[in-house]
A and B are shown apart, each in its own frame.
Chain A
């Protein structure tokens, strides 16, 4: 059933699946707690009512934390009453998160206590912020509200219709300019992306959600699609414990990025001498059958490998700007080299080799960035930045990336210019190029300022550069760290406009 708003998904699921488990999560070692579809709906309505009481209905509400029942309650509450959710990456450095809070015009910040540092900094740096809400604190104190207290003070049933075409979620993604962009998605963008395609996933399928919740792929496919199908959504508490949690929750389906699939492939190969069924039961459990892959390119060899163990890998393609799924392979129609068939709400064309798409899931634009929006949206068509084409049966084939953006194996986007600009501020760095090297790690190639080094009597230039990189790495999120350094003796080759030639 196709939905137009997120609240439609939640209320529809509560009617159909009522007391059935919606969310399962760990509460202590090997102990599972669960919340039903009705509880999830009612708790989200309580949160919406709390926003109303605070006078923040319709405003921009930021939230950060690892995936949790409270996070989901907050998100569904915010979007269910027509307010705007701004999910932020829990691993961002505090200063960067404050910058995004400010840029997104957030008036409320709902946070997991592991980011109490951001809340403290935001008090100083984010003047637009009116309320801080802690997901763990049992009582309000020192100007921080307690999430549980706010909910307890309200009754369920709060209603406020959301306009399907109104802004619903701002998701930050990094772009080539180096400054992360806030993708504006409407209720319809997200709800339609999650519900317009019948993937023949049976109701009450058990899925384990392992990807970061601020990613559009996880939010749309694991959560919104999962809810619309009455799935039992099990929360993986840490990437350390994926293998353990597979045994604990016994999922049928997991949504992954290629990096995870590669690691699990090693596990399978390690036991290659044993019968396939035994290995599969040991690593994934007998009930497991499907992996959805997205976020980055997956080598098709893995599809064959997993098929030998009775596991189907369905590769899809998308981007946050398209809520995010553009195409997906389905178990009954797969073309291995393709990233799947276009979604039914999406049409595509190729312009100068670049894939453009249009349809119900294409974003409104970038928040507060009209120029960047105009570069990306053309008359409703979204320029994907990917080189590719669609065949006569609607299957999408990708041939390369138009921009220089580095997409790491776990799907994080890293803009090389951003890192280059940061390190280029150092006097010792005359020219710098950042890229992904042949081993798939981020590498910086630097032409040092030899005159400066001589003047400053720097004997070991490589060590000095490594020190600069170590200093930068100390403050950078894991996916933006530089793991390899190359030092040049000569300048880089330049284009006529004096830009370093990338390739």
Chain B
């Protein structure tokens, strides 16, 4: 899951995949804008075949939190 997410992240921001860790914060460390982030969530919906809740997603700050959230959704 982490690797798949990492491959998608690098399409939105200019960072090297190997520098992304579960602790990386989307806005502060990776340079996401809020709209980049929302657009990526839309792509994740397709990629992982889940329905993301906008409000819950707003609390996600790190890559690790996003992985945990996606895992929770895919198990549901």
Contact = CB atoms under 8 A, between A and B. Distances in A.
Interface stretch (B16-24, B36-44, B67-75): B36-44
Nearest to B33: A259
A243 B28 contact: no
A243 B33 contact: no
B57 to A, nearest CB: 7
A299 interface: no
A238 B39 contact: no
A243 B36 CA distance: 12
Contacts of B57: 240
A410 B12 contact: no
A243 B57 CA distance: 18
Given A240-B41, A483-B28, A410 B35 contact: yes
A441 B27 contact: yes
B3 interface: no
A240 B54 CA distance: 8
Contacts, number: 56
Contacts of B52: 240
A260 interface: yes
Given A242-B39, A266-B12, A410 B27 contact: no
A439 interface: yes
A484 B42 contact: no
Nearest to A237: B54
B45 to A, nearest CB: 7
Nearest to A239: B38
In this complex, the interface size class of chain A, counting residues with CB under 8 Å from chain B, is: 20 to 34
Contacts of B54: 238-240
B35 A260 contact: yes
B46 A239 contact: no
A270 B11 contact: yes
* Interface SS of chain B: helix
Contacts of A243: 39, 42-43
A239 B28 contact: no
A240 B42 CA distance: 4
Contacts of A114: 55
A262 B39 contact: no
A266 B12 CA distance: 7
A263 B27 contact: no
Contacts of B31: 439
A478 interface: yes
Contacts of A262: 33, 35
Contacts of A239: 35, 38-39, 54
B43 to A, nearest CB: 7
B15 to A, nearest CB: 13
A409 interface: yes
Contact of A259 (B35, B46, B55, B58): B35
Most chain B CB within a 10 A radius of its CB, from A114, A238, A262, A410? A238
Contacts of A263: 12, 33, 35-36, 39
A243 B12 CA distance: 14
A378 interface: no
28 contacts: A114-B55, A238-B42, A239-B35, A239-B38, A240-B41, A240-B42, A240-B45, A240-B52, A240-B54, A240-B57, A241-B42, A243-B42, A243-B43, A244-B45, A259-B35, A260-B35, A263-B12, A263-B33, A263-B39, A266-B36, A270-B11, A410-B35, A440-B33, A441-B28, A478-B34, A479-B34, A483-B28, A484-B28
Give the 9 A-B residue pairs with the shortest CB-CB distance, closest first. Answer: A239-B38, A240-B42, A259-B35, A240-B41, A263-B35, A241-B42, A263-B36, A240-B38, A263-B39
